Amino acid sequence: MQEIVDRLTADDRGAQIARTLVYPYLNHAASMYESGYATKDDIDASMRFGCGYPVGPLALVDALGAATVVEGLREQHASTGDPLHDPAPVLVKLAEAGSTFESAAADGGATPAPQKHHPVGKVGVVGTGTMASGIVEVFAKAGHEVVFVGRTDDKVAAVQARIEKNLDRAIAKGRLTEDEKSDVIGRLTAATDRHALDDVDIVVEAIAEDIDVKLELFRDLDRITKPGAILATTTSSLSIGTCAEATSRPQDVVGMHFFNPAPVMKLVEVVSADSTSPEVAETVKALCLDVAKHPVSCGDRAGFIVNALLFPYLNDAVKLHEAGGGSLEEIDTALKETKLPMGPFELLDVVGNDVSLAIEQTLVSTFGHDGWTPAPTLERLVAEGKLGRKTGEGFHTY
């Protein structure tokens, strides 16, 4: 932690670049906390487990000192006039009191461990892509019987093959035995008919990010699954409440946003719509812990925690480059020197510039912050088909 603090408070050009991008990100996290959208621990855990950051944003504010962050933001605000650079009231309050987010959170007392209010034994998964396959693997390795449903025999066979390949890789690395592999495979049931889900305790859908396709599925699941079965969506951009409205049991519909690759990434954002029963949300959080994931709680709005904090920072990096604030390599290097796993342009190319642009457009349409308007360079690269690693060229060439 001290190494990160020292790097951010240094006097060289790289540290200046890092502060220009990191301080607004910290401000945004502080505003998210102040709004009551998520707790301090959940915000910090989201960025650690969802992005691989060495420290969460609010813990980093505490380490730097709120007064240092407020001073840096005021300097930026004086230069840019961007309301997003005006220090959040909670930061100013902590700076004036010489206090921390940690002490403020401690005043609320410890959060009890989540409990299951619904039995969850048999799991259903709908979808056959990479995310769906990973979720099937997660539950089967944790001891759950899993029924996974796809449109064709070929597609469900591909899920089975992908899981077996992952298990074989784990065996080769000494992390799994042949007997354990057999046990996992024995818990899997493939199907092409959604009626195979009629006796599961929870269904997790990981199909296309198309609201009409999802609504058709939720209407089907409402009709097919037993009373009390939890209906979860892995959507990262669509409304959980809208999915819930397609059913006669909106209280049982919840967001369960895994991160890719699901077998590796520990974070799951558990997203409650207004209609979601608190007992259902708590049951899903307890289930996440059972399968060795770290759940965080948040409400049903665009970006949830991770995307809402990550993509404005990535967009700011593009705008900084456009304004002559550093080359792609300088900016990437400056952020990696603060111990982030990747520079912003490297990360944009990994995520896909088209995906990044779509997320940023959703955030702007939801929150209306002009400062989050997608950078022209990002829009141009997408228009030119330079989407990142998947096309061989994006901000960098591969």
Distances (CA, A) of 139 to 142, 146, 187, 240, 292: 5, 7, 9, 22, 10
Residues belonging to the active site? 236, 257, 269, 307
Q: Stretch 328-351: mean pLDDT, rounded?
A: 97
Q: Are residues 93 and 170 in the same domain?
A: no
The H or E element that residue 69 is part of is helix 66-80
In the listed set 299, 322, 339, which residue is the last one of a domain according to the structure?
A: 299
pLDDT for res 267:
98
Tell me which DSSP letter residue 388 carries: B
Q: Are residues 277 and 314 in the same domain?
A: no
Structural domain of 59: 2-108+305-391
Q: In this structure, are strands 253-258 and 230-233 parallel, antiparallel, or unpaired?
A: parallel
- Is 25 contained in some domain? yes
- Is 115 contained in some domain? no
pLDDT for res 108:
67
Tell me which DSSP letter residue 262 carries: T
CB 221 within 8 A of CB 231: yes
Q: Are residues 280 and 378 in the same domain?
A: no
Interatomic CA distance for residues 155 and 160, integer angstroms: 9
Against a cut of 0.85, is the pTM above it?
A: yes
Distances (CA, A) of 237 to 36, 93, 163, 191, 195: 20, 33, 26, 27, 27
In the listed set 283, 299, 315, which residue is the last one of a domain according to the structure?
A: 299
- Is 323 contained in some domain? yes
Q: Stretch 37-55: mean pLDDT, rounded?
A: 97
Q: Are residues 359 and 240 in the same domain?
A: no
Q: Are residues 258 and 146 in the same domain?
A: yes
Whether pLDDT at 64 is above 70: yes
Q: Are residues 192 and 292 in the same domain?
A: yes
Give the Cβ contact number of residue 222 at 10 Å: 18
CATH number, domain at 134?
3.40.50.720
Give the Cβ contact number of residue 298 at 10 Å: 23
Whether pLDDT at 96 is above 70: yes
Q: Are residues 189 and 327 in the same domain?
A: no
Query: 3-class SS at 190?
Result: strand
- Is 24 contained in some domain? yes
Q: Are residues 185 and 291 in the same domain?
A: yes
Q: Are residues 277 and 173 in the same domain?
A: yes
Interatomic CA distance for residues 327 and 325, integer angstroms: 7
Q: Are residues 187 and 246 in the same domain?
A: yes
Dump pLDDT digits (tens) for 126-184. Answer: 999 999 999 999 999 999 999 999 999 999 999 999 999 999 999 999 999 999 999 99
- Is 316 contained in some domain? yes
CB 99 within 8 A of CB 66: yes
- Is 397 contained in some domain? no
Nearest Cα neighbor of 276 from 252, 307, 304, 245 is: 252
Interatomic CA distance for residues 156 and 133, integer angstroms: 9
Q: Are residues 251 and 319 in the same domain?
A: no
Q: What is the SS3 string spanning 118-161?
A: CCCCCEEEECCCHHHHHHHHHHHHCCCCEEEECCCHHHHHHHHH
CATH number, domain at 9?
1.10.1040.50
Quickly tell me which residue has 């092409």 as its tokens. 192
pLDDT for res 49:
97
pLDDT for res 211:
92
- Is 80 contained in some domain? yes
- Is 199 contained in some domain? yes
Nearest Cα neighbor of 303 from 265, 252, 356 is: 356
The rounded percent of the chain whose pLDDT value lies above 70 is 99
Whether pLDDT at 291 is above 70: yes
Q: Are residues 247 and 313 in the same domain?
A: no
Query: 3-class SS at 189?
Result: strand
pLDDT for res 105:
81
In the listed set 299, 317, 344, which residue is the last one of a domain according to the structure?
A: 299
Distances (CA, A) of 225 to 18, 26, 206, 253: 50, 43, 17, 12
Sheet of 230-233, strands arranged across: 188-191, 146-149, 123-126, 202-205, 230-233, 253-258, 267-272, 294-299
Give the model's confidence band at 237: pLDDT under 50 very low, under 70 low, under 90 confident, else very high: confident
pLDDT for res 178:
96
Give the model's confidence band at 19: pLDDT under 50 very low, under 70 low, under 90 confident, else very high: very high
For the chain, what is the domain count?
2
Dump pLDDT digits (tens) for 187-202. Answer: 999 999 999 999 999 9
Cβ-count burial of 226 within 10 angstroms (0-12 exposed, 13-18 middle, 19+ buried)? exposed
The H or E element that residue 253 is part of is strand 253-258
The H or E element that residue 288 is part of is helix 278-290
